Amino acid sequence: MIAIGIDLGGTNIKAALVDRKKGFVKTSSIPTHADMGKDHVFDRIAMAVADLLEGHDEKPIGIGMGMPGMVSMDRKVVKSPPNLPGFKVENVADQIEKRTGFKCVIGNDANLAAFGSARFGVGKDLDNFIMVTLGTGVGGGIIFNNKIYRGTTGMAAELGHVIIDYHGPLSNSNTRGGIEAYLGQRFLSRYAADTIRQHPDNPLYITFHKDFEKLEPVDLYHAAKEGNSLAIEILRKTGEKLGYAIVNYIHVLDIRKIVVSGGVAKAGKFILDPAKETASRLLMPPFLEDFDIIYESLGNDAALLGAASLAFEEL
């Protein structure tokens, strides 16, 4: 059995044919052209589906699609997705079915990354876990009894907007000090640049002082691997903030396995070890049983696999 998985982003539309047992059969990626409006984006998705199916005889059962934003309980409508100009309250599923002939269900992309981990990644052996995705922003998904936990209206797990310091920095939250302000890629880079400017003798300053816009978390990771104490300290403080957020997640949900994914998470032990140390110190003792932080190496593939898995389960 195969299904089509789509990961709709503001920059690229990623598409895949996925076998329920074997995983990827075929993948592709095309630019979204989001600035050309929603109808053009829907047409681009249909084009990606047609290209994917060219030369393939087996008929997919349908389309599962992940995208930013808050998705209705019937998995058809998205509300005000970021990075997609012109999208307000849109029945995306119907638009895709009209253009492709395939039934479609949609889900929040971070939720589906968690689902992809549950079906094809490190979450396969876990009935319950919380995934935190550390990318451009911070998102997440909650897997409870091997299903996506969606709350009462389908919008649960906006984990990046959990506040850990209401006097803290700004991000995309409606208030200061949301966890995204510390761990979202561009916000982490901004904090790192401000810190590095105070250390003009550091190799990171020498490399980036003419254009700190080029500084990315991966640069901090490479510097930390080479023993740069400032990079190690920046990542340590970032990991501590993640630890504070994890304490909140676990105390509220009583789910002790935390799966971490995304570009910022590639900093590995430099972020995850301080996160685990902080959470272990601050969790109430009964919650320490079975507590662990696990890295998901599927990266962006998790959302594609999760989207196809949604089609398998819903269609």
Same domain, 168 and 240: yes
93-106 per-residue burial string, b: 16 or more CB within 10 A, e: under 16: bebbbebbebbbbb
pLDDT band at 250 (very low <50, low <70, confident <90, very high): very high
Same domain, 81 and 174: no
Residue 102: DSSP 8-state? S
Residue 60: DSSP 8-state? P
For the stretch 127-170, pLDDT in tens is: 999 999 998 889 999 999 999 999 999 889 999 999 999 988 88
Question: To the nearest whole number, what is the mean pLDDT of the chain?
Answer: 94
Q: What is the pLDDT of residue 220?
A: 96
Q: What is the pLDDT of residue 171?
A: 81
Report the pLDDT averaged over residues 300-315: 96
Same domain, 101 and 152: no
Same domain, 80 and 196: no
Phi, psi of 270 (to 5 degrees): -70, -25
Distance CA 284, CA 292 (A): 14
Same domain, 144 and 67: no
Same domain, 305 and 291: no
Q: What is the pLDDT of residue 83?
A: 85
Distance CA 187, CA 134 (A): 11
Q: CA torsion 46→135→20→120, rounded to 10°?
A: 170
Same domain, 92 and 234: no
pLDDT band at 267 (very low <50, low <70, confident <90, very high): confident
Same domain, 103 and 137: no
- With vertex at residue 251, the alpha carbon angle to CA 245 and CA 256, rounded to the nearest 5 degrees, is 85
For the stretch 170-191, pLDDT in tens is: 887 788 999 999 999 889 999 9
**Count of domains observed in the chain:** 2
pLDDT band at 263 (very low <50, low <70, confident <90, very high): confident
Same domain, 75 and 187: no
Segments forming the whole domain that contains residue 106:
2-115+301-314
Give the CATH number for residue 58: 3.30.420.40
Percent of the chain with pLDDT over 70: 100
Distance CA 112, CA 142 (A): 10
Q: What is the pLDDT of residue 55?
A: 86
Report the pLDDT averaged over residues 54-70: 93
Task: Name the pTM for this structure.
Answer: 0.93
Name which of 71-80, 174-183, 281-290, 306-315 the model is least confident about. Answer: 174-183
Q: What is the pLDDT of residue 170?
A: 85
